[in-house]
Amino acid sequence: MTTVAATPAKVTRPNIVAVGTIVWLSSELMFFAALFAMYFTTRAVQGPKVWLESTGMLNVKFAAINTTVLVLSSVTCQFGVFAAERFQARRSGPLWKFSKWGLREWFALTFLMGAFFIGGQVYEYANLVHEGLSLSSRAYGSVFYITTGFHGLHVTGGLIAFLMVMLRVFKAQKFGHSQATTAIVVSYYWHFVDIVWIALFSAIYLIK
C-alpha cells in the first residue's frame, strides 16, 4: 500500500509594506485627532461670538471647489490602482480614451489635481493674511493655519510620493508586483489625506 504525502497548504502572508503603511497611518490619525482637539478646545475658550467673526473671513465657496478637486483626485488615484493591479504602466490607446489609460496617466492627473489643491490653499492663505488674519494675529488664526498647514504638508508629501512612483515605473524594464505594491501603498496614504481633509473642511468651514 502506497502512502501519498499530503501537500502542505500554501500560506499567504500580508504584504509587509502595506501593513507597515497602515500602522503608520494609524499613528498619523492620532496626530490629526490631537489637532482637532486643539481646534475645538480653542473654540470653546474663545466663545461663539469671537469665533463667528473669524470664520466670517473664510471663503467657503472657494474652499468647497478646492475640496471637490481633492476628493475627485482620490477617484483618479484609485483608477491608477486598478491599472496597477492589471500591470498596465501606460496607456494603450489615444490620450482622450480614459478607459485605455495606465498607471502613469492616472497618477499624473492625480498629481495635477493635488498640486491645484495646494495652489488654492496658498492663494487662500494670501487673501486671509491680506485681510488681517495671520498666524499670530489671533487664536483662531493660529489653530486655522496649524491644522490646515499640517494637512497641506501631508498633501505635499503625497505629491512627492506620486512623482517617485511614476519615476520608478518609468525606469522599470517590466511592470511587476513590486511597482504595483508601491502604487497601492501610495493610494492608501492619498485616500487617508483626503478623508482627513473632508473632516477638516467640515469642522472649519461648515461648523461655524
pLDDT digits (tens, 9 = 90+) for 177-200: 777 888 889 999 999 999 999 999
Span 127-145, average pLDDT: 88
What per-residue confidence (pLDDT) applies to 98?
74
Per residue in 49-108, pLDDT tens? 777 887 888 999 999 999 999 999 999 999 999 998 888 877 777 778 777 888 899 999
Q: Domain map of the chain by residue range? A: 30-206
φ and ψ of 96, to 5 deg: -80, -5
Q: Report d(CA 174, CA 185) in Å as an integer.
A: 19
Residue 205 is classified by DSSP as I
Please give the radius of gyration of the chain, using alpha carbons only, rounded to the nearest integer. Answer: 22
- b/e code 124-152 from CB counts within 10 Å (16+ = b): bbeebeeeebeeeebebbebbbebbeebb
Report residue 71 as a C-alpha cell: 476628493
Domain 30-206 matching CATH 1.20.120.80: the answer reads yes
Q: Check: CB of residue 39 under 8 Å from CB of residue 203.
A: yes
Question: What is the number of residues in the chain?
Answer: 208
- Distances in Å between the Cα of 27 and the Cα atoms of 15, 32, 34, 59, 149 are 19, 9, 11, 31, 18
Q: What is the pTM of this model?
A: 0.84
